[in-house]
Structure 1
Amino acid sequence: MAIRIALVGMGKIARDQHLPAIAADPDFELVATVSPHHAGVDGIPHLPDLETLLTEGPALDAVALCTPPQVRHALAMTAIGHGVHLFLEKPPGATLGEVVALETAADAAGVTLFASWHSRFAAGVAPARDWLARREIRSVRITWREDVRVWHPGQAWIWEAGGFGVFDPGINALSIATAILPRRLLLTEALLEFPANREAPIAAILGLRDTAGTPVAMDLDWRQTGPQSWDIEVDTDAGRLTLSEGGAVLALPDGSTRQPDGEYPAMYAHFASLVRDRASDVDVDPLRLVADAFLRGRRKIVEAFDA
């Protein structure tokens, strides 16, 4: 029997990624959409809010929350209270405390909680992790530069407190790094650049190291035009490993491979498996590193930015 799922939040990511992945997966049936601001899908019930969905809408087994992180915790707690399985878009919450509370509540209610990190499901990530497990890692360089006007047009929430700013894409890089590197990462320093008219950073330079002291440098910027940069370079005793295009392309010393995009289909397959097993998958390491950057980072005010 297919898992009856509703999408909550019908912005760009829901339409570009979630809807096609659900439609292509026989383990799921889209039974409703929810948004007070955006239209739904032809032929599918559309509700104005989650409470109305849960009390007056069609029967369902799961919801995928694609809302801004600032409102995610209250919605997730409502769903858990109704015994509904949860798929959380990244980042899973606005704070570490919220995510820990959700994990505890989901466990007590016996429902699945999947805090998704879509970049971990990029084609090159798993083989990169396997290759690095057999190497001595000497240094890591992460460059994640993109044009916010292209990827987040008109999204005011992302510039507000709790909206993450440049760490919204930057956390994707951290989700890959924490998946492929064998030891835990620790933040040592950070410089965060805040536009004079914004409450979230537009750029950041991070210095990290792993627990063995291996240096990891990270460069984030939302002002890049032209070609976009989503690259991780790992220097090892056997040469350099490079993940580019957000993890889709893996280059090893003896050649490179590229696989088609399959992040969201792979995530929904994983979510279906978790629901069947009544298991959860919640990893806060990428969010922890972002929180540490805000805790320890120096703040620099730069020129105002208007999208």
Structure 2
Amino acid sequence: MIRVGIVGVGKIARDQHLPAIAADPGLELAAVASRSKPDVGVPAFESLEEMLERGPALDAIALCTPPQVRRETAITALRAGKHVFLEKPPGATVGEVGDLSALAAEKNVTLFASWHSRFAAGVPTAKTWLATRKIRNVDIQWREDVRRWHPGQTWIWEAGGLGVFDPGINALSILTEIMPREVFVTDARLQVPENVQSPVAAHLTMTDIEDTPITADFDFLQTGPQTWDITVTAEDGTLRLSSGGARIEIDGQPVVQAADDEYPGLYKRFGELIRAGRSEADVRPLALVADAFLVGTRELVEAFVE
């Protein structure tokens, strides 16, 4: 049994992490650390340091804090000899994740940079279907309502909070998983509200070594039905992932899928890595976001008011 402590008991922890841990027979939620000291049926502490000092024995720490503060918390956990699960994005910068990987190797513990959308039901089938095909183009439409999914989360608009790339990086995590060749950013247009630091919308142009046209449109102000679609046109057919990868169609025909269990899949993988003595910290989705900020042109738009 792997004893897990969670740091940061906000919306994502309550909606996804707590139920996923409870459903996994190989995991046990032993304690939590959050400034509010929530009542979730296990000992609660105000900080990771207090949880490590005064709490029950722990094998692993799941970090559900905003990315801007995740590095220092991860360092504390790794130096204490704990396996670490990083909620996405794994850090505020690409470089810091490399440092955490090196520290995990030094301490002989597991570091897992989780990308939950890669565990959507349609992703493995899409990866297999595309592996041997000539791809003509890829179109990503990822549009959601920030007021619905991130109410009151002001950190998302600060430097390092990613703005619209917080959901957009989910699409990029799928893209880097299913494409048979590495992709890179060639151009980006970022719309930044005049009162915040991160974009509310973005358009990315990408390609690969075969000059495949890849475009992505991200919007954080979508109302009504939400859109999380990736369409890949190959020489001999069209594949469409929708509902964030949960559904897949090939040439318009639905493909039968297993149950869509993203976070249970993440925690199953975390347990497997711990038992195998391995780490997994892929930074490619975060690197694409970083490159979009590097090459992108910025347009100031009207202030964001929740």
Q: Which interval holds the TM-score relative to the shorter structure? A: over 0.9
Q: Distance in 1 between matches of 2:258 and 2:33?
A: 33
- The alpha-carbon deviation at position 254 of structure 1 amounts to 6.3
> Which residue of structure 2 aligns with residue 86 of structure 1?
84
- The alpha-carbon deviation at position 56 of structure 1 amounts to 1.3
Q: How does 1:289-304 map to 2 (within 5 A)?
A: 289-304=288-303
1:9–1:66 contact (8 Å) kept in structure 2: yes
Q: Distance in 2 between matches of 1:166 and 1:186?
A: 19
> Which residue of structure 1 aligns with residue 121 of structure 2?
123
> Which residue of structure 2 aligns with residue 19 of structure 1?
18
> Which residue of structure 2 aligns with residue 105 of structure 1?
103
Identity %: 58
- The alpha-carbon deviation at position 210 of structure 1 amounts to 1.0
> Which residue of structure 2 aligns with residue 261 of structure 1?
260
2:37–2:46 contact (8 Å) kept in structure 1: no
Letter in 2 for 1:4: R
SS in 1 for 2:210: coil
> Which residue of structure 2 aligns with residue 210 of structure 1?
208
- The alpha-carbon deviation at position 202 of structure 1 amounts to 0.2
TM norm structure 2 = 0.98
SS in 2 for 1:193: strand
1:144–1:173 contact (8 Å) kept in structure 2: yes
SS in 1 for 2:190: strand
Q: Distance in 1 between matches of 2:201 and 2:52?
A: 40
Deviates further, 259-268 or 273-282: 259-268
Q: How does 1:116-195 map to 2 (within 5 A)?
A: 116-195=114-193
- The alpha-carbon deviation at position 97 of structure 1 amounts to 1.1
- The alpha-carbon deviation at position 38 of structure 1 amounts to 5.4
Q: Distance in 1 between matches of 2:258 and 2:243?
A: 11
Q: How does 1:32-43 map to 2 (within 5 A)?
A: 32-37=31-36, 39-42=38-41
Q: Structure 1, residues 165-223: CA drift from partner, whole Å, max 9, x if none?
A: 00000000000000000111110000000001111100000000011110100000001
Letter in 2 for 1:72: R
Point out where structure 1 has 5 or more consecutive residues left out of the alignment. none
Q: Structure 1, residues 80-128: CA drift from partner, whole Å, max 9, x if none?
A: 0000000100000000111010001001110000000000000000010
Q: Distance in 2 between matches of 1:210 and 1:256?
A: 28
Q: Distance in 2 between matches of 1:20 and 1:139?
A: 38
> Which residue of structure 2 aligns with residue 235 of structure 1?
233
1:11–1:38 contact (8 Å) kept in structure 2: no
Q: Please tell me whether residue 75 in structure 1 is matched to residue 83 in structure 2.
A: no
Q: Please tell me whether residue 305 in structure 1 is matched to residue 304 in structure 2.
A: yes
Q: Distance in 1 between matches of 2:58 and 2:37?
A: 21
Q: Distance in 2 between matches of 1:38 and 1:13?
A: 16
- The alpha-carbon deviation at position 37 of structure 1 amounts to 3.2
Q: Distance in 1 between matches of 2:287 and 2:119?
A: 20
| Change in 2 beyond 3 A, CA 1:38/1:219 | farther
Q: Distance in 2 between matches of 1:161 and 1:300?
A: 16
> Which residue of structure 2 aligns with residue 271 of structure 1?
270
SS in 2 for 1:64: strand
1:142–1:232 contact (8 Å) kept in structure 2: yes
Q: Distance in 2 between matches of 1:9 and 1:260?
A: 28
Point out where structure 2 has 5 or more consecutive residues left out of the alignment. none
> Which residue of structure 1 aligns with residue 281 of structure 2?
282
Q: Distance in 1 between matches of 2:234 and 2:224?
A: 30
Q: Structure 1, residues 137-192: CA drift from partner, whole Å, max 9, x if none?
A: 01000000000000000001001010000000000000000000011111000000
Of 209, 213, 226, which residue of structure 1 is paired with 2:224?
Answer: 226
SS in 2 for 1:99: helix
| Change in 2 beyond 3 A, CA 1:254/1:161 | closer
SS in 2 for 1:29: strand
TM norm structure 1 = 0.98
Q: Distance in 1 between matches of 2:293 and 2:172?
A: 15
2:9–2:33 contact (8 Å) kept in structure 1: yes
- The alpha-carbon deviation at position 279 of structure 1 amounts to 0.3
Q: Distance in 1 between matches of 2:144 and 2:30?
A: 35
Q: How does 1:42-61 map to 2 (within 5 A)?
A: 42=41, 44-61=42-59
Q: Structure 1, residues 270-307: CA drift from partner, whole Å, max 9, x if none?
A: 10000001100110000000000011100100001111
Letter in 2 for 1:145: R
Q: Distance in 2 between matches of 1:302 and 1:39?
A: 38
Q: Distance in 1 between matches of 2:241 and 2:50?
A: 43
1:33–1:40 contact (8 Å) kept in structure 2: no
